[in-house]
Amino acid sequence: MTWVRARLTEEYRPAWLFLAYIFVFHIGVLGVADVVLNFYFVSIGADQEAIGWLQGIPRLAGLLTSVPVGLVTARIGSQRVMIFSTLAIAVVYFMYVGFPSLAMLAVARFLLGVFYGAQQIAMVPYMIALVRPDQQTRFFAYQNVVAMAGMALGGIAGGFLPAWLIGLAGPLAPELASGGAQTPFAYGSALIVCGLLTILSVLPFLWMGGRTPLGAKPRKRAQGEKRVRLRWGLLLLLTVPMISFGFAGGLTFPFYNLFFRETFALPDSSVGIVLSLGWIGMALVPLANPWWERRYGRPWSIFIVMVIAAAAFVMLGAANTLILGVASYVTAASFRNVMQPLYQPLLMNSLPPDQHAMASSMSGVLWNLGWFGATAISATMLASGGYSFLMYAVAVAVLLCGASTVLIFRHRVSVRENPALAV
């Protein structure tokens, strides 16, 4: 906490305002929506196969557009991309409710993939530029805490929000509220709240008052300075772990809510609370990342936490009681989530700053490839082996993620340690 107190200064105003943006963004886009979105799809008649494809379409969009988005980010600056993308995501949530046909939902999901992917690609180089290199692991951990806290709050609210909104709508539109809290109207109203929260999240950028980090703006080369050559083979190699990481995410995050509803017959409010416990764990466990890094280094730290996560996913697949299922879920999700705050600084510090946007872009390409592949086959896997089969496959995927990270990065040094890597 000494670091926090020492940095509550005007110099770090953009960093703290950025964390405020992250908090509100994650309440709406990932917290509330993670609970209610699949339930909304079910309420309008989508079956498990359709839900799998609807969950996979955003990753296909990210896969197809990540490289162009990376080029645009490098040209116009990460802050502009984040603001525009965030506002566009809000419009997508309104589209879910206004155009509930399967075809229009597919279009909306594709647009979500484009703009959410753009927000994620722009965010990493923006964060790298906000603080000094020796503070990056800690700052990424703090960003993760704030994001997961927002998702936890949103998850709790998402479990109760449809019923609350039905209660509010009852006196105003009794014919719409009469169906209860598991209707398209109830879930759609909650999604509108997600869109409004997403719009609200951009306000911290307006309060920065022009105090933006260097990395938030396109960098102008000095006269005579040569453009840094993009080494596509190296970018591809360094981002290979994101394929298995994305595959593991694609088999779990879209289905956690359905898993607990169908396996343990939990009501929506209880599902929201369970998912929130996972977000809390995902917030707290990565706080130990600086300790992991000091003791084992970033590559080996990632491998160790992925082994722990894999064991927990095996337990989740075998869980036959709610207590064991919740404990396994919280452990698995929390330790898997340690990977990103360690991996992103590791990736960025292996490359010169001019390549950070494209590195983030390539990372997004492979992450989306893994996620889309997982959701594309998820219905078949559920039909053949149920949720247990899914969780065992996820355990293998996170092990591959940890092992590939060690193999690729164990002998690499950062650009700061070897400036020759920047040319």
Which residue intervals of 99-134 are DSSP H helices?
102-130
Cβ atoms of 295 and 303 closer than 8 Å: no
The pLDDT of residue 174 is 64
CB-hemisphere CA count at 13 Å for 181?
Answer: 16
Those residues with Cβ within 8 angstroms of residue 113's Cβ, 6 or more apart along the chain or in another chain:
57, 58, 59, 60, 61, 62, 65, 368
Give the three-class secondary structure for 28: helix
Q: Token pair of 323, please?
A: 């207590």
Cα distance between residue 366 and residue 330, in whole Å = 26
Cα distance between residue 199 and residue 178, in whole Å = 30
Count other C-beta atoms under 10 Å from residue 220's C-beta: 7
Cα distance between residue 361 and residue 366, in whole Å = 9
Q: Token pair of 126, please?
A: 């923006």
The pLDDT of residue 417 is 45
pLDDT averaged per 10 residues, the chain (length 423): 52 84 93 88 87 85 86 86 95 95 94 93 86 79 86 86 81 64 86 95 83 51 54 87 93 86 88 86 85 89 95 96 95 91 86 80 87 85 90 96 93 51 42
Q: In CATH, which superfamily holds the domain spanning 9-206+229-422?
A: MFS general substrate transporter like domains (1.20.1250.20)
The pLDDT of residue 1 is 47
Nearest partner of 148 among 243, 259, 240, 280, judged by Cα: 280
Predicted TM-score of the model (pTM): 0.74
Nearest partner of 295 among 137, 147, 407, 143, judged by Cα: 137
Return the amino acid letter for 366.
Answer: L
Query: Where are the chain's structural domains?
Result: 9-206+229-422
The pLDDT of residue 418 is 42
Distances (CA, A) of 283 to 145, 151, 423: 4, 9, 37
Return the amino acid letter for 31.
Answer: G
Cα distance between residue 256 and residue 150, in whole Å = 18
